[in-house]
Amino acid sequence: MSTVALVQAADLAAPFAIYNGAPRSVAQFLRDVARVAALLPPTGPVLNACGDRYHFAVGLGAALVADRMTVLPAAYAPETIKALRASMADLHGLSDGDLDMALPLVSFPRLDPEAPAGSVFPPMPHIPLGRHAVMVFTSGTTGTPVGHVKTWGSLVKGAHTEADRLGLRDGAWSLVATVPPQHMYGLESSVMLGLHGGAVPHSARPFYPKDIAETLASVPRPRLLVTSPVHLRALLTSGVATPALDAILCATAPLPLALAEQAEERLGAPLHEIYGATEAGQIASRRPTREEHWRLFPGLVLEPRGAGFVVRGGHVQTPALLNDIIEPVSPVSFRFHGRGADIVNVAGKRSSIAFLEQQLLAIPGVLDGAFYMPDEDFAGPVARLTAFAVAPTLTAAMIETALRTRIDPVFLPRPLVLVDALPRLATGKLPLEKLRRLLASDAREVGQGHG
Residue 325 and residue 378 in one domain: no
pLDDT at 414: 85
Burial 397-412 (b: 16+ CB within 10 A, else e): eebbebbeeebeeebb
Indicate whether 272 belongs to any domain: yes
- Predicted confidence at residue 72, as pLDDT, reads 95
Q: Summarize the confidence of residues 168-175 as an average pLDDT.
A: 84
Is residue 342 included in any domain, yes or no?
no
pLDDT of residue 285: 97
Nearest alpha carbon to residue 49 among 104, 120, 117: 104
Q: Tell me, yes or no, whether 236 and 378 share the same domain.
A: no
Structure confidence at residue 383 (pLDDT): 54
| Beta-carbon contacts of residue 60 (< 8 Å; ≥ 6 apart) | 48, 70, 133, 134, 191
Residues 315 and 174 in one domain: yes
Task: Check if the beta carbon of residue 231 is closer than 8 Å to that of residue 178.
Answer: yes
Query: What total number of domains does the chain contain?
Result: 2
Residue 378 has pLDDT above 50, yes or no: no
pLDDT of residue 424: 85
pLDDT, tens digit (0-9, with 9 covering 90-100), for 27-40: 999 999 999 999 99
Region of 171 please: left (phi>0), alpha (psi -120 to 50) or beta: left
**Given this model, what pLDDT does residue 127 score?**
97
pTM of this prediction exceeds 0.85: no
Helix, coil or strand: residue 84: helix
Instruction: Look at residue 75 in the predicted model and tell me its pLDDT.
Output: 78
- 27-36, 54-63, 382-391: segment of lowest average pLDDT: 382-391
Task: State the residue range of the domain holding 375.
Answer: 347-447
Other beta carbons less than 10 A from residue 254's beta carbon: 18
**122 preceded by a cis bond (ω within 30 of 0):** no
CATH number, domain containing residue 434: 3.30.300.30
Task: Tell me phi and psi for residue 359, to 5 degrees.
Answer: -70, -40
Note whether residue 115 is domain-resident.
yes
Same domain, 157 and 229: yes
31 within a domain of the structure (yes/no): yes
CA-nearest of 155, 181, 156 to 281 is 155
Instruction: Report the alpha-carbon distance of residue 247 to residue 249 in Å, rounded.
Output: 7
Question: Do 243 and 380 lie in a common domain?
Answer: no
Torsion of CA 441, 447, 450, 451, to 10 degrees: -80
My answer on whether 333 and 368 are in the same domain is no
Within-domain flag for 29: yes
Average pLDDT over residues 244-272: 93
Q: What percent of the chain has pLDDT over 90?
A: 61
Q: Quick check: 333 and 294 in contact, CB under 8 A?
A: yes
Q: Which of 196, 244, 195 is nearest to 224 (CA)?
A: 244
> pLDDT grade, residue 348 (50/70/90)?
low
Do the Cβ atoms of 132 and 87 come closer than 8 Å? no
CATH number at residue 232: 3.40.50.12780
Q: Report the mean per-residue pLDDT for the chain.
A: 88
CA 315 – CA 66 distance, rounded (Å)? 24
